[in-house]
Amino acid sequence: MDRFDTFLCHSSADKTIVREIKNRLAQNGIISWLDEEQIGPGDPITTKIEEGLANSKHIIVCLSKNLSKSNWVRREYGSLLHKEISLQRIKVIPILLEKISDDDIPVLLYDKLRIDISDQIQFSKLVNFIKSNNKSIADPILLRTIPEIELTNQIKTILRYHNQLLDTWESMGSSISQTWIVSGWGSAQSQKLRFKAILDSLNYVNGSILDIGCGLGDFVDYLQLNNLLHKYEGWDFNPRLIEYAGKFHPNIPFKVLNQDHLPNLEYDYIIASGIFQYKDDKNPKYYLDICRELYARAKIGISVNFLSSYRDKQQMSEGELYLDPSEVINELRKISGYWNIDHSYHPGLGDFTIALHRPIPNSNPWLRPDNTIK
């Protein structure tokens, strides 16, 4: 039986304002778990936190710059919160203690509406929601409004590019043995090298996969060939590609990518192969926003690939996006400190793959002989 209405997750640097929030909630009949009141001298901290989570109806995560910098929250609260959120056992509600950037938002909470408690109307909605005992995971009050996917110039270029390849492929007789043509690869073997790099980067053995930019579903064939096809779903912007993918793989779900089809912790892995092929002059680093969104929605990890700036200049095409691997990983490591990069599989150094992983819940850090964290 729940003893607490809310569990207050916060940085110790924000203790004063969190106490005020607890008192404001209490004035409205809401009982909150606060560490300083529930953890006494000599108590096992992690155990007490687990008990607090197990006995609370909601988690309120107090977002601030202090929280994003807190090693304690990332190491101890982080794994526990990940378990609770992934299993969807508890409603998680992020609240804003101050104005912060998207980089300060924990990725697990990136797709949730942030309640500004300095706004009395929003605070009242928060109180009413908690007291209503609403258990719906997808309640519209708490899900962040996701903007409609716009057909940017970059997306339009991709659509035009693959439609041209489709036209070429269809004029050749639409041979299923040559579907790699539609993906823009020079051979089936080069396509398979990229697929292998994706799976290797994730250390993939089994689990559900969402394939963003699935094309004709060639990745399904590769998974089947290697006895790795478990639960798979493919999405693409191009309805022509999706139509063919469905015909070639009638028992596999394929969808046209739009604002109605966005994952929310439904898949173990999300992969995106070839979707960062072109520049977007209005948003040169658009790939960071997309990677952040995908990582926020994957239970275990994501794998994406890019065109490398180390490619032979004579093999580069105008309008395509060529990136320095070290610069990309320097940005993506801000999303997850658990990552790996592979620049070894493309014969012409023209392609590289990066995977972002989630930390393993409840795993102990490595220790030095003197018991300090290694």
Is 221 domain-assigned? yes
Token duo for residue 18? 């969190």
Is 71 domain-assigned? yes
Distance of CA 244 to the CA centre of its chain: 28
Min mean pLDDT across 10-24, 77-91, 181-195, 282-296 is at 77-91
185, 275: one domain: yes
123, 263: one domain: no
Quote the domain boundaries for residue 201: 153-357
Domain count of the chain? 2
CATH code (residue 41): 3.40.50.10140
Q: Does residue 188 contact residue 221 with C-beta atoms inside 8 Å?
A: no
Is 140 domain-assigned? no
Q: Which of 243, 244, 247, 219 is nearest to 233 (CA)?
A: 219
Using 50, 70 and 90 to split pLDDT, how confident is the model at 218?
very high
Q: What is the pLDDT of residue 12?
A: 87
Task: State the DSSP H helix or E strand holding residue 356, giving kind and residue range, or none if neither.
Answer: strand 351-357
Q: Does residue 352 contact residue 341 with C-beta atoms inside 8 Å?
A: yes
Tell me the pLDDT tens digit for each residue of 295-309.
Answer: 888 889 999 999 999
- List Cβ<8 Å contacts ≥24 apart for 114-123: 114/63, 114/144, 117/21, 117/24, 123/24
Average pLDDT over residues 173-196: 85
Tell me the pLDDT tens digit for each residue of 220-233.
Answer: 999 999 999 999 99
Q: Are strands 338-342 and 322-323 parallel, antiparallel or unpaired?
A: unpaired
Query: For the stretch 261-286, what's the b/e string if a residue is b when 16 or more beta carbons lie within 10 angstroms of its beta carbon?
Result: eebebebbbbbbbbbbbbbbeeeeeb
349, 221: one domain: yes
176, 107: one domain: no
Q: Over 80: is that where the pLDDT of 2 sits?
A: no
Q: What is the pLDDT of residue 117?
A: 87
Is 182 domain-assigned? yes
Query: For the stretch 172-205, what's the b/e string if a residue is b when 16 or more beta carbons lie within 10 angstroms of its beta carbon?
Result: eeeeeeebbbbbbbeebebbbbbbebbbbbbebe
Q: What is the pTM of this model?
A: 0.63
Using 50, 70 and 90 to split pLDDT, how confident is the model at 152?
low
191, 127: one domain: no
Q: Does residue 94 contact residue 136 with C-beta atoms inside 8 Å?
A: no
Q: Over 60: is that where the pLDDT of 83 sits?
A: no
164, 127: one domain: no
Using 50, 70 and 90 to split pLDDT, how confident is the model at 19?
very high
- Percentage of residues of the chain with pLDDT beyond 70: 80
Q: Which residue has the higher pLDDT, 178 or 79?
A: 178
Q: What is the pLDDT of residue 46?
A: 75
126, 165: one domain: no
Q: Which of 7, 17, 88 is nearest to 51 (CA)?
A: 7
Average pLDDT over residues 2-7: 82
SS3 for 216?
coil
Q: What is the pLDDT of residue 136?
A: 38
279, 166: one domain: yes
Q: Which residue has the higher pLDDT, 339 or 88?
A: 339
Using 50, 70 and 90 to split pLDDT, how confident is the model at 289?
confident
CATH code (residue 312): 3.40.50.150
Q: Which residue has the higher pLDDT, 213 or 76?
A: 213
82 φ/ψ angles, rounded to the nearest 5 degrees: -60, -45
Question: How far apart are alpha carbons 309 and 325 in whole angstroms?
Answer: 8
Tell me the pLDDT tens digit for each residue of 241-273.
Answer: 999 999 999 999 999 886 445 566 678 999 999
342, 313: one domain: yes
Tell me the pLDDT tens digit for each residue of 316-370.
Answer: 988 899 999 999 999 998 888 899 999 999 888 889 999 999 876 555 556 666 6
- Percentage of residues of the chain with pLDDT beyond 90: 37
306, 340: one domain: yes
Q: What is the pLDDT of residue 42?
A: 87
Min mean pLDDT across 96-100, 101-105, 236-240 is at 101-105
Give the CA count within 13 Å in the CB-facing half-sphere of 181: 17
Q: Over 70: is that where the pLDDT of 37 sits?
A: yes
Q: What integer best gives the mean pLDDT of the chain?
A: 82
Q: Over 90: is that where the pLDDT of 17 sits?
A: yes
Q: Does residue 265 contact residue 324 with C-beta atoms inside 8 Å?
A: no
